[in-house]
Copies of this chain bind each other. A is one copy, B any other.
Amino acid sequence: MSETKSAVVLFSGGLDSTTLLAKALAEGYRTYALSFDYGQRHKSELNAALTLSKSMGAEDHKVISLDLRAIGGSALTDPLIEVPEGASEGIPVTYVPARNTVFLSIAMGYAEVLCAHSIFIGVNAVDYSGYPDCRPEYIQAFQQMADLATKESVEGQSIRIETPLIDLSKAEIIRLGMGLGVDYKKTVSCYQANAQGIACGKCDSCRLRREGFDAAGVSDPTPYI
């Protein structure tokens, strides 16, 4: 195929989506990173994301402002809900209602404007089994909806949702990224990193990250508070 394929990559600057961006680049895609400023508690992830995407070779990087605080309902968007420390049972309070659906929808609009035929999203059904919108059956249903939703779909071309991390453990994601040259020191996964982007080391996301490096047999390069 002589024409370069284009992809929108949902990219937060965290461990998973940085591996995802590296994977899309390694597969030869011209990549368009897409991040959201959705009323998270800190902007350090977003700043890390902008620096990373540029150094990794993304074609462009758009940040969409979307104030999900107006609807609330999650520890990540509502200052009245505490971010829990350690593992939680069932659907965690850090779950943001409909977040992946909202992000995928906007990515679909961006892909339509770019005439890109792929959207990469770093959902993971292993570590995030508590999130309904990380399940493979959810992604399949989104794909079916996307096949009917866009101008391209009317004109006979659809947008593929790519989820290369969906079946990988955190350790497998880290090994994949190491093989692709990802510098994990520059990625921020923490739900409540401080203003300098230093991770707390205690929240669910930090715990999964620590355990992942441990299981991968790789020394964790993350600076913690």
In the complex, the chain B residue whose C-beta lies closest to that of A154 is: B132
B141 engages A148 (CB within 8 Å)? yes
- B72 and A113 contact, CB distance less than 8 A: yes
Residue A218, interface by CB 8 Å: no
The answer to whether the Cβ of A222 comes within 8 Å of any Cβ in the partner chain is no
- Distance in Å from the Cβ of A20 to the closest Cβ of chain B? 20
Distance in angstroms between the alpha carbons of A126 and B130 in the assembled complex: 41
- Residues of B near A67 (CB, < 8 A) are 64-66
Give the CA-CA distance A72 to B65 in the complex, in Å. Answer: 14
Give the docked Cα–Cα distance between A70 and B107 (Å). 12
Which residues of chain B are within 8 angstroms of A95 by Cβ–Cβ distance? 151
Q: How far is the CB of A123 from chain B (nearest CB, A)?
A: 12
Picked from B68, B109, B112, B147, the residue with its CB within 8 Å of the CB of A141 is: B147
**A63-B70, A112-B73 are contacts. A145–B145 as well, Cβ < 8 Å?**
yes
Spot the interface stretch: A51-59, A97-105, A169-177, A181-189.
A97-105
B105→A102 contact, CB < 8 A:
yes
The majority secondary structure among interface residues of chain A is: helix
* A96 CB-CB contact with B under 8 Å: yes
Residues in chain B near residue A135, CB distance under 8 A: 148
Query: In the bound complex, how far is the Cα of B66 from the Cα of A73, in angstroms?
Result: 18
Chain B, residue nearest A150 (CB): B132
Given A67-B64, A73-B113, A97-B112: A148 and B144 within 8 A (CB)?
no
Q: For the complex, what is the distance from the CA of A15 to the CA of B145, rounded to whole Å?
A: 27
Q: CB < 8 Å: which of B72, B109, B148 contacts A138?
A: B148
Chain B residues in 8 Å Cβ range of A26: none
Contact B138 A145 (CB under 8 A): yes
Name A residues whose Cβ lies closer than 8 Å to a Cβ of B: 62-68, 70-73, 91, 95-102, 104-106, 108-110, 112-113, 132-133, 135, 137-138, 141-142, 144-151, 153-154
Give the top 6 A-B pairs by smallest Cβ distance, nearest first.
A98-B109, A73-B113, A97-B109, A97-B112, A141-B145, A101-B105
